[in-house]
Structure 1
Amino acid sequence: MEERIKHLLNQISVLESELQAELHQREVKLFYRITGKHVEFDKAVGKAHRELKVGIVRWILSSRPQNFLAAPFVYGLVFPLVFLDLCISIYQAICFPIYGIAKVKRADYIVMDRWQLHYLNFMERFHCAYCEYANGLIAYASEIAARTEQYWCPIKHARKVLGTHARYERFLAYGEAEQYQERLAQFRDALRKQQ
């Protein structure tokens, strides 16, 4: 039964990767090409984007007042987010080499490219930059925590948990005590090879 589950999980991973690659290729073919860190649109698409941009004054006048009232609470989170970024990066820099865990590449998670969209005005780009950073940082921190969990305690919970990371499904079943130490060593070895 265990081998069947591993086989199915591997098939799911392969299919998810294929789907993401195919969807990305379709987007790229239709709209843009990536040159280094720069995203280039066809001239006609770029021109259409600039024509669709809503001016900042019209954008402010059409915005809901609640958005302005909530802004200090939304953007006030930038301070704990930056602090989390600093702490999690220091943690990884110190602990992962000690544990023999391959480091998580921050740039794979925090991707700041929406500022290149010419149909967004300054405020929309500002909002996008905040969301890119916040969500990318949470994903980056989640992967660091997931690798740490795989190193120290790769055991599923007894209760159903929402929002588990991608590694969780491969963890040991709750209460699966046989060969725990050997299996733990296998989980740790896998982290050394991770890229």
Structure 2
Amino acid sequence: MTTEEHVVLVDGDGNAIGAAPKTSVHGQDTPLHLAFSSYVFDTTGRVLLTRRADHKLTWPGAWTNSCCGHPLPGEPVDHAVLRRLSYELGLEVERADLMLPGFAYRAVMGNGIVENELCPVYRVLATTPARPNPDEVGEILWMPWKEFTEGVLSGLLAISPWCKEQVPLLTDLGADPLSWEPAPPHELPPAARVKG
């Protein structure tokens, strides 16, 4: 018997205040909850973009960053990144580097469904090919980071709302994504400072 996946609910200061079934939190009154975004790069600095599967509840069919998801209650966020990369993209990677520890956003779809997430952002280096899981990913595309960021910042590249907000913050870290300096874990919100 499979149990339903739960997400961590947080208050405005980033403290955990409970958990709720993942299927119940995304609606027109979505509570603030803990999530993550990750950007997968290859050794040449290309970023892996994914098109969300067409049956996704939030932003179906939208192009976005490599992988997003939710840590389970008690799960370190970087572990959740590795777990979801394996499940969604067939990538087995050694580690996820914390880049934007305090990123948060709220976005509303045309149908009124809301995303409301405290969403630390991670960088990952992959050395093996991605094998997308069709349950999660409709399509993938590797793109040079400079080309990607210029497309997003100019508005010429249609991308998910969270990715659109993250890209300017990531470009502030420097032109070469492989040389970004990771943020210290203590800068994560309290709910995300779970020890592995």
Alignment TM-score, normalising by the size of structure 2: 0.24
Q: Which one has more relative contact order, counting CA pairs under 8 Å at least 6 apart?
A: 2
What TM-score, normalized to structure 1? 0.24
Higher strand share: 2
State the structure with more CA Rg: 1
